[in-house]
Structure 1
Amino acid sequence: MARIARKTKRYPSDLTDEERDRLAPLMPKPGRRGRPREVDFREVINAVRYLVRSGCGWRMLPVHFGAWQTVYGWFRELARRFLFQTIHDVELMLDRARQGREESPSAAVIDSQSVKAPSAEMRGFDAGKKVVGRKRHIAVDTDGRLLMVNLTTADISDSAGAQAILDAIRKRWPWVKHLFADGAYDRLKLMDKASYMDFVVEVIRRSDRQQGFNVLPRRWVVERSFGWMTRWRRLVRDYEKRIDVSHAMILVAMGGNLLRRNAHP
């Protein structure tokens, strides 16, 4: 990390030149008409990564990133164009290929995380975790890379949120056939839908005789992914009012991890 930090401009979250070069082909091209574009997309990405990593507010961005209104406006525009989703998925496939694996995974691990969401338009109460906020339903590959995320209110059950995950995985990652889950996903509706969509759901249960903490096969992978996610302080809680903005923040964080891993192996 010290070697990488020397290549950044100001903050550890800034893009290095190698990372900038990997993103350059994906950036929007300037229009043929109108006033020439004055925005440096590298600075916009740097500002968004700084915000997500440090957990600060939009109005508290350092002034050398430019006006926060400009950064926020371009963040919403790039999210609307699915740029952060594209960066994440491209880097995910490249990282799998770099590790000698097929670019499209064939197995995934699903789980959920309830987080407080003080500013959300709609919130729910998770009675099990005693949390008022949103729930993140995610699917990761067997190495912990994020494949899919579905955001709901916290009162939505794990199995209900996973049904939307199944639909999304089939469209984006069609080769996934095997799913690992815990006992909360062993529900009739979910199992029927998984069987209808040609998924195999393997439920990994905790032993009744187990005492204390014990690492369970496969399930520890998704817990580690939640840990990677919450290292970006903006994601410790869900501070976003809109679900689409919160979704983009998650993609910025997890895509940033993959980008740095590929650019600096």
Structure 2
Amino acid sequence: MINKLLEVSTLSEYQSNISREQFELIRPGLEGLRKLMRSRRCDLYDVFNAILYSLTTGCQWRELPHVFPEWHTVYRYYDMWRDKPDPTVDSLLEKPLKKTVGSYRFAQGRSTRTSFIIVDAQTVKSTDLAKNSGYDGGKKISGIKRHMAVDINGLPQAIHITRANVSDREGALAVFSLSNQTLDSVQRVMVDGGYTGQDFSGQVKLILNANTTVAKRNELHTFKVLAQRWIIERSWSWLDKCRRLWKNCERKLNSSLQIVVLAYLALVLRRY
């Protein structure tokens, strides 16, 4: 009995944890595979916090503290939650992210679906474990590229992962095509100078029926924070709080996508 109390108190000390009340917001969605599994012998709340611990500290699954469920149990749940049999189908991690972001916007008095998005890409170096890597000649980095569209709060509306050799324009158009139902209310898209050329605005108009605004720093003739563009830069900086995201350690592109989704899901939940 004393040992169990010590384990509970130790588990509650990790700063990567979310509260049980916050977890209850997404628990029904994560239990979608319950009928396909044997009777559960561990608390899903502890499993989710174990995944967040690995995300925040960057530790390997086998190195999870013993206060959490066994590492292979934690990884098995994570593997099922991140599964994405089709690129157009949301995983069990993506669904609660979209739901919580929409609820957060609604609590602010906004529509659950945004009419304005900011688009950007981030190139991340891959380790030798990753199988899907490309070379970004502009950044001189071999790895993957994260493409993301955020709303005025900096919260993701759509995320897509490609090899680093894919251009920003191609990645953005892929984001719009894969998430056109989520972005069906978008009327204006803001991008930087890297998205000009090859009739990018015409393609955006065709896919989303939205207008494109290009914010060019060279037109300012001085260093100045670009209005509204800083929002997505802050969104990228939020990922730096998770050591597992400092480099791409995932073998598959979908795994790289789901770990980013998980990071933003934990961030939104902590705001409730």
> TM-score scaled to structure 1, two decimals?
0.90
In structure 2, the partner of 1:219 is 229
2:117 is aligned, of 108, 119, 122, to 108
Provide the residue aligned with 1:70 in structure 2. 73
Within the candidate set 201, 205, 225, 1:195 is matched to 205
C-alpha distance in 2, partners of 1:31/1:159?
A: 40
Give secondary structure in 2 for the equivalent of 1:216: coil
- 2:24 maps to 21
With 75-84 and 229-238 compared, the bigger mean Cα shift is at 75-84
Match of 1:136 in 2: 146
SS in 2 for 1:88: helix
Distance in 1 separating the partners of 2:54 and 2:37? 30
1:98 is matched with 107
- Provide the rounded CA distance (Å) in 2 between the counterparts of 1:182 and 1:106: 18
Deviation by residue 1:30-53 (Cα, 9 ceiling, x = unmatched): 756985221321111001111111
- The structure-2 alpha-carbon separation of the partners of 1:35 and 1:105, relative to structure 1 and needing over 3 Å to count, comes to closer
Paired amino acid for 1:162: A
Shift of 1:17: 2.4
Post-superposition offset of 1:66: 2.3
Quote the Cα distance in structure 2 between the aligned partners of 1:164 and 1:253.
22
State the secondary structure of the residue aligned to 2:118: strand
Cα pair 1:134 1:154 within 8 Å, conserved: yes
Cα contact 1:47–1:61 (8 A) shared by 2: yes
**CA distance in structure 1 between the partners assigned to 2:30 and 2:15 by the alignment:** 22
Aligned length: 255
- 1:114-153 to structure 2, matched below 5 A, reads 114-118=123-127, 119-153=129-163
Q: Secondary structure at the match of 2:250?
A: coil
Q: Is 2:92 the partner of 1:83?
A: yes
User: Unpaired runs of 5+ in structure 2?
Assistant: 1-8, 85-90
What is the aligned partner in structure 1 of residue 186 from structure 2?
A: 176
Unmatched tracts of structure 1, length 5 or more: 1-5
The one-letter code matched in structure 2 to 1:63 is H
Distance 1:62 1:199 in 2: 48
Give the Cα separation in 2 of the matches to 1:161 and 1:35.
Answer: 40
Distance of 1:128 and 1:54 partners within structure 2: 30
Residues 114-149 of structure 1 show CA distances to partners (whole Å, capped at 9, x for unaligned) of 011112212111111111100101110122011111
- In the superposition, the TM-score normalised over structure 2's length comes to 0.87
1:108 is displaced (CA, Å) by 0.2
Q: Which whole-Å CA distance do the structure 1 matches of 2:35 and 2:194 have between them?
A: 53
* Root mean square deviation of aligned Cα: 2.0
SS, match of residue 245 in structure 1: helix
Equivalent pair of 1:169/1:176 in contact (CA under 8 Å):
no
